[in-house]
Amino acid sequence: MSATYLMPTYNRQPISFTRGAGSWLYTKDDTPYLDALTGIAVCGLGHCHPQVTDAIQQQAGTLIHTSNLFGIDWQERAGEILCTAAQMDSVFFANSGAEANEAALKLARLYAYKQGFKRPKVIVMEQSFHGRTLLSLSATANPKAREGFYTLDEDFIRVPFGDIAAVKQAAQEHDDICAIFVEPIQGEGGLNTAANGFTYLEKLQAECDAHNWLFMLDEVQTGNGRTGRYFAYQHSNARPDVLTTAKGLGNGFPVGACMVRGRANGLFGAGSHGSTYGGTPLASRVVHSVYDVLANSNIMENAVTEGLYIRESIVDTFGQHGVSSRGAGMMIGIALPEDMDCNQLVDRARDEQKLIINVTGGHVVRLLPPLNMSRDESTQVIERLINLLKPSF
Ligand SMILES: *Cc1c(COP(=O)(O)O)cnc(C)c1O
């Protein structure tokens, strides 16, 4: 494959797909690959879900874009169902995760500004990933992604993920903090869950309430049913002030959302934020159709049962060799022994097993299968993974 005209921002695998259906991707010669990655947690309903495809086709032939200068009926409708599902008050529609997070971080700054802060700081986590725009990149931990971009480091305080004591310490050392921004489960940074699970979120919220900070969740990856609840925070009793999502929101159609509640509601006014493409009739109708499929099915329960089935089967087989699993629903990390050479795993899975996976954090196999994967397909994921990993033990 020659990519001469494309900037080399990605190390691309030597394969491309021309068609997708459900849990399967097909190459030009129609070889099927079992997709346990779904475009990095995007196509949660599987590729080309018929109801979503139908919504896109109908709306593409009716009205694609007008402008946020006008009323947009589908945006109102998508906003209502999304805010109701997320238990939030209002939403701003963007086109990606980074843009949704940019809106959240701008909100935190505006929240501080309205209280007279000179230069506020946001608490973020080690191993976090929040996107590639300058502000969301500055919130991101990965030094390789940040290098050379003069990130706005003085605007963030970084603490270890899962560590409440570090947050309390930061609160003592700084009087200019305005928010905490955190992923319920860290996706790009190694599929990390907090040691105390989702109660971590409740403890973070308590700190935010005690100090009048905004409690902001990045559910770009964990949202839209991925972990078995519509949003991952709903596994806990925590309630965010600001909530972002994207990836699964459009099942492959680019769309993001930043939602607010309570003290974060009403911060943005006319002219203070915007996006030409944000919440077009087409994007909004897609959001609506993805939500309809999730809400009127047992897909989120399926994500829980199939996710557990995959995790337990792998740990049953390789647990005695130090293999463990983590995550929630169909957001699965299979942690291999730290001394294991994992460099070839993605290529071997693809070429030998026709299985699409990802490896993160050096030795964690990351699986993000469709939420509606069938039992037979989950069994095939397990069998192919066992075949892949067996020679290593
Ligand atoms: C993917 C991701 C982002 C960035 O989303 P883009 O759509 O690529 O801009 C932000 N936060 C989290 C947690 C993500 O997983």
| Domain co-membership, 103 together with 222 | yes
Q: How confident is the model at residue 3 (pLDDT cuts 50, 70, 90)?
A: low
- Identify the CA nearest to 191 among candidates 307, 84, 67, 101: 307
Q: How far is ligand 1, taken at its centre, from the CA of residue 194, in Å?
A: 19
| Domain co-membership, 218 together with 97 | yes
| Domain co-membership, 132 together with 213 | yes
| Domain co-membership, 91 together with 229 | yes
Q: How far is ligand 1, taken at its centre, from the CA of residue 220, in Å?
A: 6
Q: 2 lies in a domain?
A: no
Is any ligand 1 atom within 6 A of the Cβ of residue 229?
A: no
* Whole-number percent of the chain with pLDDT over 90: 97
Whether 325 shows a pLDDT value over 80: the answer reads yes
Q: 57 lies in a domain?
A: no
Is any ligand 1 atom within 6 A of the Cβ of residue 155?
A: no
291: CATH: 3.40.640.10
Collapsed DSSP state (helix, strand, coil) of residue 24: strand
| Domain co-membership, 194 together with 339 | no
| Domain co-membership, 167 together with 314 | no
| Domain co-membership, 322 together with 230 | no
What DSSP designation does 36 have? S
| Domain co-membership, 327 together with 225 | no
Mutation choice for ligand 1 from 40, 130, 243, CB with most ligand atoms inside 8 A: 130
- The residue-averaged pLDDT of 47-54 equals 98
Q: 1 lies in a domain?
A: no
Distance CA 371, CA 330 (A): 6
Q: Which of 274, 295, 316 is the last residue of a domain?
A: 295
Residue closest via CA to ligand 1's atom 10 equals 130
Whether 147 shows a pLDDT value over 80: the answer reads yes
Q: What was the pLDDT predicted at 197?
A: 87
Q: How confident is the model at residue 21 (pLDDT cuts 50, 70, 90)?
A: very high
| Domain co-membership, 267 together with 322 | no
Q: 213 lies in a domain?
A: yes
Q: 58 lies in a domain?
A: no
Q: 222 lies in a domain?
A: yes
Q: Which of 295, 329, 361 is the last residue of a domain?
A: 295
Q: What was the pLDDT predicted at 2?
A: 59
Q: What was the pLDDT predicted at 250?
A: 98
Q: What was the pLDDT predicted at 54?
A: 98
Instruction: Point out the ligand 1 atom lying closest to the alpha carbon of residue 254.
Output: 7
Q: How confident is the model at residue 195 (pLDDT cuts 50, 70, 90)?
A: confident
Q: 9 lies in a domain?
A: no
Domain that holds residue 136: 63-295
Please say whether the dihedral angle defined by the alpha carbons of residues 372, 375, 377 and 381, taken in this order, is positive or negative: positive
pLDDT digits (tens, 9 = 90+) for 253-294: 999 999 999 999 999 999 999 999 999 999 999 999 999 999
Average pLDDT of the residues of the chain: 97
| Domain co-membership, 329 together with 213 | no
Integer CA distances (angstroms), 86 to 219, 322, 330, in order: 11, 38, 19
Across the chain, how many H-helices and E-strands are there? 12, 15
Q: Which of 262, 277, 295 is the last residue of a domain?
A: 295
Q: 204 lies in a domain?
A: yes
Distance CA 171, CA 178 (A): 10
Instruction: Point out the ligand 1 atom lying closest to the alpha carbon of residue 222.
Output: 13
Q: How confident is the model at residue 135 (pLDDT cuts 50, 70, 90)?
A: very high
pLDDT digits (tens, 9 = 90+) for 168-184: 999 999 999 999 999 99
Mutation choice for ligand 1 from 221, 231, 253, 331, CB with most ligand atoms inside 8 A: 221
**Domain tally for the chain?**
2
319: CATH: 3.90.1150.10
Is any ligand 1 atom within 6 A of the Cβ of residue 228?
A: no
| Domain co-membership, 270 together with 307 | no
- The residue-averaged pLDDT of 142-165 equals 97
| Domain co-membership, 291 together with 322 | no
